[in-house]
Amino acid sequence: MITISLCMIVKNEEQVLARCLDSIKDLMDEIIIVDTGSTDRTKEIAKTYTDKVYDFEWRDDFSKARNYSFSKANMEYIYVADADEVLDKENRERFSQLKKVLLPEIDIVQMYYCNQLQYNTTYNFDKEYRPKLYKRIREFRWQDPIHESVRLEPIVFDSDIAILHLPEKNHGPRDFSVFQKIWKRGEVFNKKMLQMYARELFIAGEDKDFVKARGVFQEIFQEENRDLEEIKVASLVLARGYHLENQISNFFKYIMKDMVTEPSSEGCFELGLYYMEQKDYEEACNWFINAMEGSEASLNILYQKELPLAQLMDCYEILEKDAIETDNHELAEQYKNARENLLK
């Protein structure tokens, strides 16, 4: 049977920490909790589960905090959990069985991460694999009988364990602050960070967050080494920000960068909103339909169905009322039927 160190970084998680630890404590051989500056009862709660509670000065860098937590681990494997995660009874049993039978050559175990999207998490899926269990000290071995080489790729096992992600709050404001501090320090946003920033804006961002993000994405848009996908992501953020401030010339400048290649659902939706504001409801309908049927979401899956569907319903209702007022009852009936068909 393998041994496991639980490594967590926490800050002000008194509402959920005990729930998380109660669901996994019996599966762990060691519990390590790194606190990055809690001002509530988080550390007090943590100390009821383990004497390995450490302070780490927050430096606007989650990786540094994670690395510090890993440095305290002593077991064969490290399990990484966030305080808002829970293992239910069925998946605790699966985890217990995995612990008994895991082969020593496995470097990483992936588990299903099950999101509750109503909490504006930054992931566009209900269920997807994520690496959760890591071998603490990896062995490198030679392979192949001739032209031998060292195996560099880790051996990954996809388990059937499902982790429930049950956040109690939206972490968007915290994350947006970190992104801004990284930019102000002059650090380069790699492609992953760029996409995560944009994704979180479109999932959990408020109007002011798009405006604040302009400096970051304006720089990215102008950098010559960025690929098309990165340019399109930057364009969507910039277009949204300029639209919010009613800078229509700049809005069209950037939204067209998305349209000239394969349009995204986010871009089509934004154009639909613009034409709704202009009271051109027919044109707005076309763009909302494009968001749903003629494109795919690149940042937030809700832009591919739920959001344009709601706006499309509103447009059809307005068009139906306008047709009734002009005594065009045949046209009104068409809009009514179109609206009812959307509900099927």
Percent of the residues in the chain that have a pLDDT greater than 90, as a whole number: 72
Burial of 281 from C-beta contacts in 10 A (0-12 / 13-18 / 19+): buried
Pick the CATH number of 172-342 from 1.10.10, 1.10.3470, 1.25.40, 1.10.1240: 1.25.40
Percent of the residues in the chain that have a pLDDT greater than 70, as a whole number: 95
Which whole number is the average pLDDT over 196-216? 93
77-80/4-10 β-pairing: parallel
94-137: pLDDT as tens digits: 999 999 999 999 999 999 988 755 544 445 456 788 999 999 99
Instruction: Give me the chain's average pLDDT, please.
Output: 91
Phi, psi of 105, rounded to the nearest 5 degrees: -80, -5
Name the region of 37 (left: φ>0; alpha: ψ -120 to 50; beta: rest). Answer: left
25-34: pLDDT as tens digits: 999 999 999 9
Instruction: Output the pLDDT for position 211.
Output: 93
pLDDT at 197 over 50: yes
pTM of the prediction? 0.73
pLDDT at 175 over 90: no
217-232: pLDDT as tens digits: 999 989 989 999 999 9
Q: Any idea where the domains of the chain sit in the sequence?
A: 4-165, 172-342
Helix (H) and strand (E) counts for the chain? Answer: 14, 10
Phi, psi of 328, rounded to the nearest 5 degrees: -95, 75
pLDDT at 210 over 80: yes
Q: Which of 306-310, 311-315, 336-340 has the lowest average pLDDT?
A: 336-340
The answer to whether 209 and 236 have CB atoms below 8 angstroms apart is no
Instruction: Output the pLDDT for position 125.
Output: 53
Instruction: Output the pLDDT for position 120.
Output: 45
Instruction: Output the pLDDT for position 117.
Output: 53
Pick the CATH number of 4-165 from 2.60.120, 2.60.40, 3.90.550, 3.40.109: 3.90.550
Instruction: Output the pLDDT for position 166.
Output: 84
Instruction: Output the pLDDT for position 116.
Output: 55
Instruction: Output the pLDDT for position 228.
Output: 93
Q: Which of 13-22, 115-124, 228-237, 272-281 has the lowest average pLDDT?
A: 115-124
